Amino acid sequence: MATPTNTATTAGTTTAAGRLGALARAELILLVRNRTALFVTLLMPLLMIGSIRAGLDRAGLEGTGMTLVEAAMTGGLGMVLVIVVYLNLVPAYVARREELVLKRLRTGEASDAEILAGTALPSVALTLAQCVIMVVAAVAFLGVRAPQRPELLVAGVAVGIVLLGALAAYTSTLTRTVESAQLTTMPLFLVSAFGSGLFVPLEVFPEKVEAVCALLPVTGVVTLLRAGWLGGADAGELLRAGATALVWTAVAVFAVRRRFRWEPRH
């Protein structure tokens, strides 16, 4: 007699992996059908990298230890995280909430964390794929040095995904409709783009401005990404960056647990 496996259903129940897979497949189908979301997910990061490079031409990188291409590509990794995870997930959570999808899912076996994670999985997979492609292409065709500390690069991407996914879930609580997501996501996007080192490395700013920008939510993630790819960061800088990223992640996760909306706003 065959015995049930971990991935099979047993006595009418399903495994966590099975539930996550089903949620992710359904979300991927919706993503593929949504042309606007596909544009944001696949093409906007590439367009923003071009904008980053144009901005760096005017900023000047003397004293940063980075070439123009290195600064643009490492900033591009952070931009992929912000756009594909944060900007894509906020309207996704809002749409599922307003369509009563989240409310119905809570009546089933899936836990709250599984519902949120399952919705995010397609965006996470696309983020990872784009990050890998960017690193490989930059090293192979643009003359950028290979990642100096891959473990920091992986850690930066992982923490960035969790942080921005949690921030997306929380921002959705402040967002009434899918259309208004364009407004509610703009503050974090602009603050991250110009204050967290995506468009311009923080080293070009005055010391006091740099110290303030170092405390922003995405700055720690960008610092880990650049240190992992290009090296050069000292232990103290890495410790501060890691601590900042983890503290913001913990705050965002706590806020989601306390404030996330599962039913439509009235």
**What is the per-residue pLDDT across 218-250, written as a single tens digit (0 to 9) for each?**
999 999 999 999 998 899 999 999 999 999 999
Count the neighbouring beta carbons within 10 Å of the beta carbon of residue 184: 18
**Phi/psi of residue 10, each to 5°?**
-130, 120
Positions in the chain whose pLDDT score sits under 50: 1-11
| CA 45/CA 106 separation, integer angstroms | 33
Cα-only R_g, the chain: 19
> Of 80, 87, 76, 79, which is closest to residue 165 (Cα–Cα)?
87
Q: At 55, which helix (H) or strand (E)?
A: helix 44-59
pTM score > 0.85 for this model?
Answer: yes
| CA 262/CA 93 separation, integer angstroms | 9
Task: Supply the pLDDT for residue 66.
Answer: 82
| CA 134/CA 48 separation, integer angstroms | 13
Give the chain's length. 266
Note whether 75 and 222 are within 8 A (CB): yes
Task: Supply the pLDDT for residue 57.
Answer: 58
| CA 229/CA 232 separation, integer angstroms | 9
CA dist 132 → 145, 149, 150, 154, 229 (Å) = 14, 15, 12, 10, 12
